[in-house]
Structure 1
Amino acid sequence: MAKLAPIRAVLRPLDLAQHLFEVTLTLPPEALASGAVAAMPAWTPGSYLVRDYARLVDRVRLLEGRKERPLDKLDKQRWQLPPSKRELTVKYRVYGNDLTVRTNHLDASHAQIIPAATFLYLEGQLDRPVEVRFEGFPADWKVASALPQEQGGYLAKDFDTLVDSPFELGAFRTRSFRAGGTVFELVFTGRHNGDEGRMVEATRQIVEAAGAIFGGFPFRRYVFFFTFTPKLRGGLEHKDCTSLIADSHAFDKPEGYYALFQLVAHEFFHAWNVKRLHDPVLGPFDYSRENPTKMLWFHEGLTSYMEHVIVLRAGVVPWSHASKELAKCWSEQVQRPGRLEQSLEEASWDAWIRFYKQHEFSPNSSVSYYDKGEMVAWLMDAALREGSRGRAGLADLFAQLWARHGEDGLTDADVRRAFRELSGKDPAPFWDAYISGRAELDSAQLRRAFGLVMEAKAPWEGLSIEEASDPAAQRRARAWTGLVLASNGPVIQNVIPGSPAAGAGLSFGMEILAVEGWRTTTAAEAQRCLAEPGPGGKVAVLVADRGRVFHVEVALAENPERTYRLTPDPRVGAAQRAAFAASYGQPHPAAPVRRGVRR
């Protein structure tokens, strides 16, 4: 097959303070013989939402000698190009002022270029190479990319590779290390209160722990992009790199480092799970529309669990922290009303329209394929350990899938087959309960496999010693209305279906003005007044809804909510200790049995 002539792209800043830059695309004649359609992607892989990047693009022009003319726009994201026997140049302006891992951001300090939000592609010609150059940016700025550099530019072998390769420009800091014959580069942008040396060393340990699962790395070079900015956190996986955003001020406590290390582990594990081992729907992509799959529970949920496995095996996060995180997620999932309404497969399929477009009722009608998937992954690890008598866990399932399927595509049937082979169990009951079904999470499996107990605590059991001796405090702790109030005031954020508040007709967005005649100006005041009579009591509530003020009476019930704590089973056996150590690379947290000493 003849080598395709590349599209040549040049990016230039227009006004960094206004977050504007210009893209010039030079299109080869062979791409234009019959005309062509240039399109802007509607989304970026790894973030399953139509973002309509074309809304950030304007002044799309065709250059003909010294003349410019606008291209005919076919719809929201496509432009018609005329037939041509010579190369044509298209120029357009892009606005980038959204600092996330999915969107462009540039200012006087740096430029983060997300290719899906930047480059037009030619329909039907995604295989065509793209050369990218940067001109006119500040002289002291550097460029970082996972793409190979050639003659001052960066070459993507096709559009899929380009989309998978973000750019960072600026006066960033770089570190690197080698592991397993692969070079790992770390690019740090932005100020923070952390220790970059600690971050580099932890990343190295995480990389080695993940690589050990798969027997090495499927790349010779990999780039971690670290961006630090206040109060933000996020990550997006790519085939040979990952983009990470962390809170600049998070590192005054160990938990700030732990959160970053888990994020690193999560996104790096995606280098296998989803970027290479993936549902065939997820690559090559249709960039013009949604690409739904029922397997996001596998690609994201299982990765959310494996981030804990990896940081524990790497020794960069202690079990005491991981256990709190796992128990917190368990508490949230077993009490989320939507667990009874939506399965993980359904949550995966509807991610495009439901997960990324939450509304007030979402907690009552849906689950997160990340969080619920993480808990199901934990149970799957336990089921594999129990069925294999400790010989295999979830990490082994991934290793087998990688050895067997590599980058050839992965189906649900393939995952079931590997589960059956490793556990010796029919996968259907597990899938019917937790993946295609809506069964309640069962912590008994964790006890049997790992010697871990999920201990439930009622609200009144968590009172301080002083509060526990106060009948009024006990009474309030036992009362429940089913109202979830916003953090910034006594405004109803959610109403649990079937709760006393739902029965009284309270709903989203209403404001609690007063309870039993007492004015309530904060959420804490409202909740305290609502709980005052205790279970079986009633309260008169003054409510405002869209300018209308009215009274309702709410009958209180006993609080069904529980928080969970993960504790070691005091009767843990040798097999459970061994299974725990095999999964997490650490000794079981239960204190060793002390034998009597003769004196």
Structure 2
Amino acid sequence: MFQVWLVHAETQYQITITQPEHHLADIEMRFVAERAGPLQLKLPAWRSGKYQIMDLASGVRLFRATDSNNQQLTFDKIEKSIWELQVHTPGVITIKYQIYANELAQRTRHIDDSHAYINASAYLMYTDQTRHQPVSVQLKVPTAWRSTSGMQRGENPHQFLAADYDVLADSPIETGIHQFYNFEADGRSYEVVIWGEGNYDPKQMVTDLQKLVAQAPTIWQGYPYQHYLFIIHATHGARGATEHLNSTVIQRERFSFGSREHYLQFLSTAAHELIHTWNVKAYRPSELVPYDYLQPNYSKLLWISEGSTSYFQNQLLLRAGLMTHAEFYADLAKRLDKFDRLPGAHVQSVAQSSFDNWISLNGDHADNFSVNIYSEGYLVSWLLDHYLLSHSGLKASYRDIHRQLYQRFGKTTAFTAKDVQSIAQELTGKSLLPWWQQQVDSPPKVDSDKRLAAAGLERVVVKEQQAWLGLTGEFKNGSDKISKVERNSPAWKGGVTIDDEIVALNQLQLKASLLDRMKDFKPGQTIELSLFREGRLQHKKVVLGALPAKPSQISPVAKPTTAQRKFHQAWLGVELEKAKFSR
């Protein structure tokens, strides 16, 4: 319930879940307008952790505004996310509107009869004045629901308080019917909230998350939080995760927890989001400070924000004993296999990929002409780690870069490329600029054999080969609809392109996925693909290429040297295991 009066410079919100089965909520916002004249109410056009413009304002309807005399205020919508009022008399302004919340996969807003996920960026408006004011959020929800957030609790279980709108926008609320667990580690409290049924073991989850959070001091000294919240959605048709100030939301298909492979994916995601609490929340590229909620915050350092986080995630699991050496090496080998055949790796740098991340990269543009801030950001982070270890005599690693970033910018938040380069020079005594120009500002050059050998590892590519087309498709209703064709692959050279519908192979109707049919052919053979392109039947001759039949393998060398063992220990924080067989 709102207070009958407003403390000066305070914003109050109330979210009432009115028709959960229809995904509807009523929003009420109260604040003090300090002066008469035009006043703009804004809803963000994107949310933190998703560096793309979104249509968050699409859920707003029935907007209205009144003054302290309960008189209707005229308004005009001047931009898709801005409502401009005409305030006649300073005083309390009340804003009311309805929100339609049926978007779960982007982790913005979702309401149904069992829960509501509330990312304030997609629910609650602000003004330039109220953005910097203390805020309170009161929920009115069904009786059986329980509410939780990384924000401070207010006077009742469904009220939360934040220092300002920026904290509110980065502290999602989960309310509904859930499983709740909590634990403590290193003087911090943790809460695990699970919505939805699935084949997960909640007790095992909590046990493993305890082991995970205990590894944070291996990178940073100190914490940016006293309390941390894991929100887990076990659902259908939604997957992914988003980091927030002192919480995360992780979404997975409800039956994707059972196998070892799938469970490791969950743990890797949890590690990734936990790391973000430092890397991108406690310190982030200066171009992202402050967030411009209506326009892109362009930066060439998102590869550090995301790629370096991906680089550290499995290291934490390895140190915690949650991932084996073999599993860690297999993940690295998979990344190297992908990079080796990535056409975009010869075209784009991670710096440019960071800047262009606000562009939706789909179809033939993705991978063919670009790299990814996550996967290639991981590899550049590995290269930088190797550089630091090699030029410091194993006295400094990439962990030291992030430890220093947190110590120096944990309060001011913003850092620059020059700050990273300066720290590296302090750690090694050498200028990082030449390396940066070669590996960050230019397409990266990954000499994996050299870097693996330094740590007593070797990568083996199997000799057995299989037929390769170089395309991705979805077999449905007797045709393979092509979603991607690798540049310079056999399919590319044969004239196959995106959106082609392949219906026959060698004049025989396609009865199974084209990729499955490749098992019947050998590299070097010529095949004929019959396809529909914009409704016109065409035939394409394709000479099949070759790819290794199995992923490459990374394993310890038979007789590692002392130097190699020391490098491995300094790199990953664990000893190099003995080779399981000699070659």
Q: CA deviation at 1:151?
A: 2.3
Q: Using a 3 Å threshold, how does the CA distance of structure 1 residues 577 and 501 change in structure 2: closer, same or farther?
A: same
**After superposition, what is the alpha-carbon deviation per residue over 1:125-176, rounded to whole angstroms, capped at 9, x for unaligned?**
42122211012x1112111011112223322111101101110111223222
Contact 1:331 1:564 (8 Å CA) reproduced? yes
Q: Using a 3 Å threshold, how does the CA distance of structure 1 residues 524 and 182 change in structure 2: closer, same or farther?
A: same
Q: CA deviation at 1:306?
A: 0.5
Contact 1:224 1:242 (8 Å CA) reproduced? yes
Give the letter for the 1:12 counterpart: T
Distance 1:205 1:16 in 2: 37
**After superposition, what is the alpha-carbon deviation per residue over 1:499-539, rounded to whole angstroms, capped at 9, x for unaligned?**
3433332211122233332222332378439x74741x433
Which residue among 36, 39, 47 is the counterpart of 1:36? Answer: 39
Contact 1:60 1:71 (8 Å CA) reproduced? no
Q: Using a 3 Å threshold, how does the CA distance of structure 1 residues 565 and 534 change in structure 2: closer, same or farther?
A: closer
Q: Say if 2:338 is the partner of 1:332.
A: yes
Report the 3-state secondary structure (helix = DSSP H, G, I; strand = E; otherwise coil) of the residue aligned with 1:58. strand
Instruction: Count matched residues.
Output: 569
Aligned twin of 1:519: 509
Q: Say if 2:111 is the partner of 1:123.
A: no
Q: Using a 3 Å threshold, how does the CA distance of structure 1 residues 204 and 490 change in structure 2: closer, same or farther?
A: same
Q: CA deviation at 1:4?
A: 5.0
Q: CA deviation at 1:90?
A: 0.9
Aligned twin of 1:574: 562
- After alignment, is 384-393 or 235-244 more displaced? 384-393
Q: Say if 2:79 is the partner of 1:81.
A: no
- After alignment, is 256-265 or 107-116 more displaced? 256-265
Distance 1:458 1:484 in 2: 24
Report the 3-state secondary structure (helix = DSSP H, G, I; strand = E; otherwise coil) of the residue aligned with 1:401. helix
Which residue among 412, 416, 436 is the counterpart of 2:421? Answer: 416
Aligned twin of 2:4: none
Q: How does 1:416-455 map to 2 (within 5 A)?
A: 416-455=421-460
Structure 2 unpaired stretches of 5+: 1-6
Aligned twin of 2:553: 565
- After alignment, is 290-299 or 70-79 more displaced? 70-79
Contact 1:446 1:453 (8 Å CA) reproduced? no
Give the letter for the 1:512 counterpart: I
Report the 3-state secondary structure (helix = DSSP H, G, I; strand = E; otherwise coil) of the residue aligned with 2:359. helix
Which residue among 140, 158, 181 is the counterpart of 2:144? Answer: 140
Aligned twin of 2:170: 164
Q: Say if 2:555 is the partner of 1:586.
A: no
TM-score by length of 2: 0.91
Report the 3-state secondary structure (helix = DSSP H, G, I; strand = E; otherwise coil) of the residue aligned with 2:297. coil
Which residue among 61, 66, 84 is the counterpart of 1:63? Answer: 66
Give the letter for the 2:155 counterpart: Q
Which residue among 258, 274, 281 is the counterpart of 2:280? Answer: 274
Q: Using a 3 Å threshold, how does the CA distance of structure 1 residues 534 and 74 change in structure 2: closer, same or farther?
A: closer
Which residue among 522, 526, 535 is the counterpart of 1:547? Answer: 535
Give the letter for the 2:24 counterpart: L
Which residue among 319, 325, 329 is the counterpart of 2:325? Answer: 319
Give the letter for the 2:62 counterpart: R
Work out the percentage of aligned pairs sharing the same amino acid: 30
Q: Using a 3 Å threshold, how does the CA distance of structure 1 residues 560 and 189 change in structure 2: closer, same or farther?
A: closer
- After alignment, is 88-97 or 315-324 more displaced? 315-324
Q: CA deviation at 1:275?
A: 0.5
Give the letter for the 2:234 counterpart: F
Contact 1:9 1:131 (8 Å CA) reproduced? yes
Contact 1:512 1:526 (8 Å CA) reproduced? no
Give the letter for the 1:5 counterpart: A
Distance 1:22 1:385 in 2: 55
Distance 1:179 1:480 in 2: 50
Which residue among 466, 491, 494 is the counterpart of 1:501? Answer: 491
Report the 3-state secondary structure (helix = DSSP H, G, I; strand = E; otherwise coil) of the residue aligned with 1:49. coil
Q: Using a 3 Å threshold, how does the CA distance of structure 1 residues 556 and 291 change in structure 2: closer, same or farther?
A: same
Distance 1:559 1:203 in 2: 38
Pairwise CA RMSD? 2.5
Q: Using a 3 Å threshold, how does the CA distance of structure 1 residues 50 and 233 change in structure 2: closer, same or farther?
A: same
Q: Using a 3 Å threshold, how does the CA distance of structure 1 residues 149 and 424 change in structure 2: closer, same or farther?
A: same
Distance 2:188 2:523 in 1: 62
Q: CA deviation at 1:26?
A: 1.2
Q: Using a 3 Å threshold, how does the CA distance of structure 1 residues 190 and 502 change in structure 2: closer, same or farther?
A: closer
**After superposition, what is the alpha-carbon deviation per residue over 1:81-140, rounded to whole angstroms, capped at 9, x for unaligned?**
2222221211001111122363111111011111000011103542122211012x1112
Which residue among 365, 368, 376 is the counterpart of 2:369? Answer: 365
Q: CA deviation at 1:324?
A: 1.4
Report the 3-state secondary structure (helix = DSSP H, G, I; strand = E; otherwise coil) of the residue aligned with 1:82. strand
**After superposition, what is the alpha-carbon deviation per residue over 1:219-270, rounded to whole angstroms, capped at 9, x for unaligned?**
2222221222146432111112222223322232222332221111111111
Give the letter for the 1:569 counterpart: V
Report the 3-state secondary structure (helix = DSSP H, G, I; strand = E; otherwise coil) of the residue aligned with 1:144. strand
Aligned twin of 1:256: 262
Contact 1:331 1:562 (8 Å CA) reproduced? no
Structure 1 unpaired stretches of 5+: 461-476, 595-599
Which residue among 242, 247, 265 is the counterpart of 1:236? Answer: 242
Q: CA deviation at 1:434?
A: 2.2
Aligned twin of 2:54: 51
**After superposition, what is the alpha-carbon deviation per residue over 1:173-215, rounded to whole angstroms, capped at 9, x for unaligned?**
3222222222222222222222222211221221121134212
